[in-house]
Amino acid sequence: MDYLIWALVGYVSGSIPTGYWLGKLKGIDLTKEGSGSTGATNVLRKVGKTEALITLLFDVLKGFIPVYFALRLQRSETEVIVLAVACIIGHSKSIFLNFKGGKSSATSLGILTALCWQAAAITFFLWIVIVGVSKYSSLGSIVVIPLAPLWMYLFHKPMIYIVLVIFAVVYIVLIRHKENIQRLLKGTEPKIG
């Protein structure tokens, strides 16, 4: 029963579609605009810079807050894993958006911050550098997310949390960014800025 409760908490938290709601306030349905994603990059392109920043912050927090409190409550590693996976899936398959959503990168960054802030800081710094140079947000995620398990390992985090991050890598990079990868290879991926 505890696992079910944590899964529900994680899924509902991850499902909160901040970017979509901010878009709707301006009459924009992000699921039908641009990439169809409700994440900060599509918000930046289709809604505005302020809304994109708010979306990024809230998408990070909806991964960070539940995992942080689960750790503070000394829940088992397995319960934390269930919670975190549910957050990631909730963001990309939101119950509020007929199971549509974003790529889960920012929400996963929030989870990573709760599990290992050092790994999160390195990941975010590298993402900023890559995006700053290339102007491709997706390329930043595709390059830096697979390195996160290495940083977790170097900071001596439990293997089960490293496995969680590997799941996030496969889900976010290979599944959620599949179309971005195809567009990058074709040279048709839109830049930011």
Phi then psi dihedrals of residue 191, to 5 deg? -90, 165
Q: What is the mean pLDDT of residues 91-114?
A: 94
pLDDT over 80 at 143, yes or no: yes
Structure token digits, residue 153: 């390992």
Residue 192: band (very low, low, confident or very high) from pLDDT cuts 50, 70, 90: confident
Q: What pLDDT sits at residue 35?
A: 85
> Whole-number mean pLDDT of the chain?
93
For residue 188, the Cα-to-chain-centroid distance in whole angstroms is 23
Instruction: Report the C-alpha gap between 17 and 93 in whole angstroms.
Output: 10
* DSSP H/E element including 62: helix 49-72
137 contact partners, CB below 8 Å, separation of at least 6: 41, 131, 192
Averaged over 12-18, what is the pLDDT? 97
Residue 51 has pLDDT above 80, yes or no: yes
pLDDT of 60 > 90? The answer is yes
pLDDT digits (tens, 9 = 90+) for 78-90: 999 999 999 999 9
Overall average pLDDT of the 101-130 stretch: 95
Q: How do the domains of the chain map onto residue ranges? A: 2-186
